[in-house]
Amino acid sequence: MRKLPHSIEAEQAVLGTLLVYPESGNAVMEHGLTPNDFFKSEHQRIFEHMSALLDEGVTLDATTVVTRLKDHTLLDAVGGMSYLVFLSENSGTPSTLEDYVEIVQEKSRLRNLILSSQMVMEKGFDTSTSFSDLLNMAEKNLATLALSQRTDDMLAGRDVVDKVYQQIKDISERGSRVTGLYTGYNHLDNITSGLQRGDLLILAARPSVGKTAFALNLAMNIARMNANGEAAVAVFSLEMPASHLMMRMLSAQSAVPGASLRNGKLSTEEWNKLNEGVTIMRDRNIFIDDSSTITLSEMFAKCRKLKNDNRLDFIVIDYVQLITGRGNSDNRQQEVSEISRGLKQLARELEVPVLALSQLSRLVERREGNMPQLSDLRESGAIEQDADIVMFLYREEYHQRQQNGVENEPREEEDVKLLIRKHRNGALGDVPLSFRASINRFYPVDNRYGGDEH
């Protein structure tokens, strides 16, 4: 038997947001959300008593909600304290609350339409009901449903122009082109104006080119250079354990070769550098999840909790093709497309840039020069479509060695280009970098482009 339309996740996000951000209660009430709009009876009861508290002018928070539910002997019936904690951990944010309210109301309207249609159908089988009465009933039900549909007010041009003008003034007074997060690479910041909140960025390359190393460099720089050194970064590593990631970051931070860290053979000077690097990394707000299998919904939950408990400024995912899909599709390309759209939603909901690493197809290796193109993004054109920025790492010397079958070790420093091949809100360009493979560190080529000198 088919279930009526509903979204338990959206209902949980609405209730959780009200618990975590009590000030959003008035916004919910303005949208006309009612207990009957919720599909789950427990959610109906919780929202009913939340609404009652708001009507009474009582501050809405976990304590007042729990107290009221206890007073009405309903706390256990709605799942107990543990379920309210779960709702808090899976809350949305004030900026995305309207979207979740719309989903809840949309599903409610669909249910009402289905139930209304079923009632008309049942009456139609009753020969005692005339056709005109049946038609009047159907028209009345449809009119009621049409009136319940909320539409957003149009924005007055004078309000929009004032807001944009103020944004331009603020940027001008700051004296900097960077309006997002500083990356530590001035040339990249000049092109992007910094990594913008709500943007989905794709960094793609063939295996062993250095995309994980560059992503970690960005994570370290962003944690150090933004929010007075308090910026928080979440790293989801589906390919390697957290200890391996930290080994790479310590090597990049201390400039001690990774090989030395792995075999423990360090000189006195290297030990001093390592100790200094460890002290620095202890103070960085970098959080690592190394689950080898993780779904998008689990990522959402962990990132929401991190933002609620601390703060969250940047998310790195290594890499897209390893994220576990919902498993209800035999088409992997379609599954990756859904994951891609989900990552964009993650960036918008949490208001942070999301950097997702992606593999490239083998077609790039058959092309002369091995220069990557947007069409090389593996498994899904939706990745390109959903991304605000698509970047490729290109190491010409590395590709030449691979193509010629040369086994010799790379030079200590190797020229690399970060190719920006899609930029929804800005220019395209190439960012010249230098890669020191022994310490997993990317540097700007010269001071003309500035960057993170450390």
What pLDDT is recorded for position 316? 95
Question: Considering the domain boundaries, does residue 353 fall inside one?
Answer: yes
What pLDDT is recorded for position 302? 83
Quick one: 143 and 18 in the same domain? Answer: yes
Quick one: 305 and 420 in the same domain? Answer: yes
CB 60 within 8 A of CB 68: no
Quick one: 245 and 105 in the same domain? Answer: no
The residue whose two tokens read 């360090």 is: 266
* CA–CA gap between residue 433 and residue 306 (Å, rounded): 32
Question: Considering the domain boundaries, does residue 238 fall inside one?
Answer: yes
What DSSP element (H or E) covers 145? helix 131-148
* CA–CA gap between residue 294 and residue 298 (Å, rounded): 6
Question: Considering the domain boundaries, does residue 154 fall inside one?
Answer: no
* CA–CA gap between residue 90 and residue 100 (Å, rounded): 12
CA-based nearest residue to 191, from 14, 8, 422, 376: 422
* CA–CA gap between residue 256 and residue 262 (Å, rounded): 11
Which CATH number covers residue 378? 3.40.50.300
Quick one: 231 and 321 in the same domain? Answer: yes
CB 353 within 8 A of CB 314: yes
Quick one: 184 and 319 in the same domain? Answer: yes
What pLDDT is recorded for position 453? 41
The residue whose two tokens read 């001008």 is: 172
Query: For 407-438, how does the pLDDT look when each residue is reduced to its tens digit (9 = 90+)?
Result: 555 567 788 889 998 898 888 988 999 888 88
Query: For 135-181, how does the pLDDT look when each residue is reduced to its tens digit (9 = 90+)?
Result: 766 766 665 655 555 545 567 887 778 877 787 777 677 666 788 89
Pairing of strands 389-394, 414-423: antiparallel
Question: Considering the domain boundaries, does residue 167 fall inside one?
Answer: no
CB 383 within 8 A of CB 339: no
Quick one: 206 and 297 in the same domain? Answer: yes
Residue range(s) defining the domain that contains residue 375? 177-444
Question: Considering the domain boundaries, does residue 449 fall inside one?
Answer: no
Question: Considering the domain boundaries, does residue 67 fall inside one?
Answer: yes
What pLDDT is recorded for position 447? 41
Query: For 8-56, how does the pLDDT look when each residue is reduced to its tens digit (9 = 90+)?
Result: 988 888 888 888 887 777 777 777 788 888 988 999 999 888 888 888 8
Distances (CA, A) of 218 to 184, 235, 440: 7, 11, 12
Quick one: 294 and 201 in the same domain? Answer: yes
Using left for φ > 0, alpha for ψ between -120 and 50, and beta otherwise, residue 57 falls in left
CB 336 within 8 A of CB 180: no
CB 120 within 8 A of CB 53: no
Quick one: 142 and 200 in the same domain? Answer: no
Neighbours of 313 (CB within 10 A): 22
List, edge to edge, every strand of the sheet that includes 200-205.
285-289, 232-237, 314-318, 354-359, 200-205, 389-394, 414-423, 429-436, 441-444
Show Cβ contacts of residue 378 under 8 Å, excluding neighbours closer than 6 positions.
Answer: 204, 321, 358, 359, 360, 361
What pLDDT is recorded for position 449? 37
Q: How many domains does the chain have?
A: 2
What pLDDT is recorded for position 306? 85
CB 240 within 8 A of CB 229: no
Quick one: 14 and 115 in the same domain? Answer: yes
Which CATH number covers residue 92? 1.10.860.10
Quick one: 139 and 184 in the same domain? Answer: no
Per-residue confidence in pLDDT tens, the chain, 454 aa: 678 888 898 888 888 888 888 777 777 777 778 888 898 899 999 988 888 888 887 878 788 888 898 888 888 888 888 888 888 888 877 878 888 888 888 888 888 888 888 887 877 787 777 776 777 667 666 656 555 555 455 678 877 788 777 877 776 776 667 888 999 898 898 899 899 998 999 998 878 788 999 999 999 999 999 988 889 999 998 888 888 999 999 999 998 888 888 888 888 998 999 999 999 998 899 999 888 788 777 788 788 888 877 789 999 998 887 887 655 455 667 777 778 888 888 888 888 999 999 887 777 667 666 778 787 776 556 777 888 999 998 887 766 666 666 555 556 778 888 999 889 888 898 899 988 888 889 988 864 333 344 3
Distances (CA, A) of 14 to 19, 272, 290, 315: 9, 51, 29, 23
Can you list the alpha helix ranges (DSSP code H) found in 351-395?
381-386
What pLDDT is recorded for position 174? 66
Distances (CA, A) of 396 to 174, 209, 215, 407: 38, 10, 19, 15
Quick one: 245 and 328 in the same domain? Answer: yes
Per-residue tokens: 203: 């960094």
